[in-house]
């Protein structure tokens, strides 16, 4: 069963707490069952994935019915919304908040598609990623093992309910593993501090804001796990959270196409700037541009490939699924990374924007960003390579900072990294463009 805990006959008061109210497990199951009954003859369904209990109930109902569901970002523009609906062929539904049902459908086959999650469209129109029930179950079970996640946990987060982080981990996790879920509507420091939990999920922007409000951060000290993902967590934020809460955050890595595949362990070491070890059922490796295997020596940068039990089925195209582009079962993530001799992974960034080839050297943008963030005046930093007739690419930093000179920042990095890794140019900006998950949109910086 995919939704094992939801189908548990033992009721749980306040299994789901959301801005619209509180729901016991019994009530949530009845709500989901009523939605499942309405979807029995629908091939594929879409919902407006508002950050509330209705989205959790709708996704659970579709999974009970065995109907693939497409969550649409509530702030999607007209063109994006039209593209998702036309591309998926999904029927958009309104969620009845009052209907309840006692009859539970039979469990669908594990191989059946569960979700169609649309990517952010950074390299073209958003693509529908088809994820099976089996992949979701395998991922959540592996994370439960890695994080010691049990039915005794209360998870708190305010992440969007249309991505892997907020929806698969943050909503379906408690419905499979058990425990309580508090969704705060928005992931503000105040909302997190006011919600009592044993686990908190956030993206780096959320954790940076929490670390910037020491009282809110200290309120999370009783929790046993603070999880950061969806983008690299700056080392200074990692250290601030450790100092304020008494525990280092757990970082993890994944993609829409692979779900979560690499993570630090709740009972193990946690290292700033590194995302840990492959989960159970997952293998990883580094290759070069010709797909030749690279060494796991902690310094060689290569393309990260993943294979295992959490892979997506493929991309949805005009009602049909185009198989996932795998080579001997390996999926090329598009990210570049290093893997240490002990198996620990450091994600350098996207191959298209974060692997900079300058003057014959290969430089990871993340290493330069981390160095810049050590400067007391720097609040945010994004580094990319811009075309240069002499170097091939010129390391260029976009920085949000208190008053500081370009020369000071370049010298600061040069003192801490090899000379060829220093920025050749620094541009001070008021803010960095980010998407809904807090990832810096470097393509927009490049275009600007």
pLDDT digits (tens, 9 = 90+) for 97-155: 999 999 999 999 999 999 999 986 545 577 899 999 999 999 999 999 999 999 999 99
Residue with tokens 């129109």: 125
Contacts of residue 9, defined as CB under 8 A and 6 or more positions apart, other chains included, come to none
Domain with CATH 3.30.300.30 in the chain: 353-447
Please tell me the least confidently modeled range out of 195-204, 289-298, 431-440. 431-440
- Whether the per-residue pLDDT at 34 is higher than 80: the answer is yes
Contact 71, 162 (CB under 8 A): yes
- Whether the per-residue pLDDT at 36 is higher than 60: the answer is yes
Contacts of residue 268, defined as CB under 8 A and 6 or more positions apart, other chains included, come to none
- Whether the per-residue pLDDT at 360 is higher than 90: the answer is no
Contact 57, 34 (CB under 8 A): no
Contact 365, 273 (CB under 8 A): no
The C-alpha atoms of residue 50 and residue 125 are separated, in whole angstroms, by 22
Q: Kind and range of the H or E element at 21?
A: strand 21-23
The C-alpha atoms of residue 91 and residue 70 are separated, in whole angstroms, by 9
Residue 310: predicted pLDDT: 97
Please tell me the least confidently modeled range out of 151-165, 166-180, 276-290, 373-387. 373-387
For 300-319, write each residue's pLDDT tens digit.
Answer: 989 999 999 999 999 998 77
- Whether the per-residue pLDDT at 436 is higher than 90: the answer is no
Contact 143, 169 (CB under 8 A): yes
% of the chain at pLDDT higher than 70: 98
- What is the residue-averaged pLDDT of the chain? 92
Contact 235, 211 (CB under 8 A): no
Residue 364: predicted pLDDT: 80
Nearest in space to 2 (alpha carbons), one of 166, 145, 133: 133
Residue 366: predicted pLDDT: 81
Strands of 60-194, DSSP E: 69-72, 91-92, 113-118, 128-132, 154-157, 180-183
% of the chain at pLDDT higher than 90: 74
The C-alpha atoms of residue 422 and residue 353 are separated, in whole angstroms, by 17
The C-alpha atoms of residue 238 and residue 64 are separated, in whole angstroms, by 39
Fold held by 353-447: GMP Synthetase; Chain A, domain 3 (3.30.300)
Contact 170, 181 (CB under 8 A): yes
Average pLDDT over residues 162-184: 97
The C-alpha atoms of residue 215 and residue 238 are separated, in whole angstroms, by 16
The C-alpha atoms of residue 405 and residue 413 are separated, in whole angstroms, by 13
Distance of CA 286 to the CA centre of its chain: 21
The C-alpha atoms of residue 395 and residue 383 are separated, in whole angstroms, by 7
Domain with CATH 3.40.50.12780 in the chain: 16-348
- Whether the per-residue pLDDT at 426 is higher than 80: the answer is yes
Residue 120: predicted pLDDT: 66
Residue with tokens 């370009």: 406
pTM, rounded to two decimals: 0.85
Residue 233: predicted pLDDT: 87
* pLDDT tier at 70, thresholds 50, 70, 90: very high
How many other β-carbons are positioned within 10 Å of the β-carbon of residue 389?
Answer: 6
The C-alpha atoms of residue 19 and residue 51 are separated, in whole angstroms, by 8
* pLDDT tier at 3, thresholds 50, 70, 90: very high
Q: What is the CA radius of gyration of the chain?
A: 22
201 three-state secondary structure: strand
Average pLDDT over residues 222-238: 91
Fold held by 16-348: Rossmann fold (3.40.50)
- Measured in residues, the chain has a length of 448
Distance of CA 281 to the CA centre of its chain: 19
Average pLDDT over residues 406-417: 91
Phi, psi of 48 (to 5 degrees): -80, 110
Average pLDDT over residues 188-208: 95
* pLDDT tier at 189, thresholds 50, 70, 90: very high
314 three-state secondary structure: strand
- Whether the per-residue pLDDT at 172 is higher than 90: the answer is yes
End-to-end Cα, the chain, rounded Å: 49
Please tell me the least confidently modeled range out of 2-6, 233-237, 264-268. 233-237
* Alpha-carbon distances of 80 from 92, 95, 160, 316, 433, rounded to whole Å: 14, 21, 17, 16, 19
Distance of CA 69 to the CA centre of its chain: 19
Phi, psi of 436 (to 5 degrees): -65, -25
The C-alpha atoms of residue 356 and residue 13 are separated, in whole angstroms, by 52
Identify the top-confidence range among 8-12, 198-202, 286-290, 334-338: 198-202
Tokens of 123: 């390299």
Q: Sort 99 into a burial class: Cβ within 10 Å, 0-12 / 13-18 / 19+.
A: middle
Phi, psi of 285 (to 5 degrees): -160, 165
């Amino acid at each position: 069963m995919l939704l094992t805990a939801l189908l548990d006959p033992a009721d749980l008061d306040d299994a789901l707490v959301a801005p619209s109210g509180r729901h016991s497990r019994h009530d949530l199951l009845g709500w989901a069952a009523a939605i499942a009954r309405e979807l029995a003859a629908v091939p594929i369904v879409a919902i407006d994935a508002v950050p509330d209990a209705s989205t959790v109930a709708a996704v659970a109902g579709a999974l009970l019915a065995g109907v693939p569901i497409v969550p649409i970002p509530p702030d999607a523009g007209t063109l994006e919304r039209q593209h998702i609906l036309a591309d998926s062929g999904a029927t958009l539904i309104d969620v009845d908040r009052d209907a309840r049902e006692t009859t539970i459908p039979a469990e669908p086959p594990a191989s059946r598609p569960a979700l169609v999650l649309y990517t952010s469209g950074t390299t073209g129109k958003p693509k529908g990623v088809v994820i099976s029930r089996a992949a979701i179950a395998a991922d959540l079970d592996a994370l439960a093992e890695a994080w010691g996640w049990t039915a005794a946990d209360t998870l708190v987060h305010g992440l969007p309910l249309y991505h892997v982080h907020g929806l698969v981990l943050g909503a379906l996790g408690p419905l499979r593993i058990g425990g309580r879920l508090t969704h705060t509507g928005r992931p503000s420091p105040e909302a997190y501090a006011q919600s009592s939990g044993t686990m908190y999920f956030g993206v780096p922007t959320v954790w940076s804001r929490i670390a910037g409000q020491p009282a809110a951060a200290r309120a999370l000290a009783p929790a046993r796990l603070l999880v950061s993902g969806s983008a690299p967590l700056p080392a200074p934020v990692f250290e601030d959270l450790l100092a304020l809460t008494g525990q280092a955050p757990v970082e993890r890595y994944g993609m829409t196409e692979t779900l979560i595949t690499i993570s630090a362990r709740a009972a193990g070491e946690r290292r700033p700037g590194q995302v840990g070890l492959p989960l159970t059922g997952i293998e990883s490796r580094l290759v070069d541009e010709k797909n030749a295997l690279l060494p796991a020596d902690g310094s060689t940068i290569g393309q990260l490939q993943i294979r295992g039990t959490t892979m997506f089925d493929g991309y949805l195209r005009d009602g049909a699924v185009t198989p996932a582009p795998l080579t001997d079962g390996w999926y090329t993530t598009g990210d570049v990374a290093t893997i240490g001799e002990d198996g620990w992974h450091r994600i350098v960034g996207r191959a298209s924007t974060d692997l900079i080839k300058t003057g014959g050297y290969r430089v990871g943008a993340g290493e330069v960003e981390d160095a810049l963030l050590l400067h007391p005046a720097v609040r945010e930093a994004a580094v990319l390579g811009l075309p240069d007739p002499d170097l091939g690419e010129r390391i260029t930093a976009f920085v949000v900072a208190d008053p500081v000179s370009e020369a000071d920042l370049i010298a600061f990095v040069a003192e801490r990294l090899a000379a060829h890794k220093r920025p050749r140019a620094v541009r001070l900006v008021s803010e960095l463009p980010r998407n809904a998950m807090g990832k810096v949109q470097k393509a927009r910086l490049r275009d600007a």
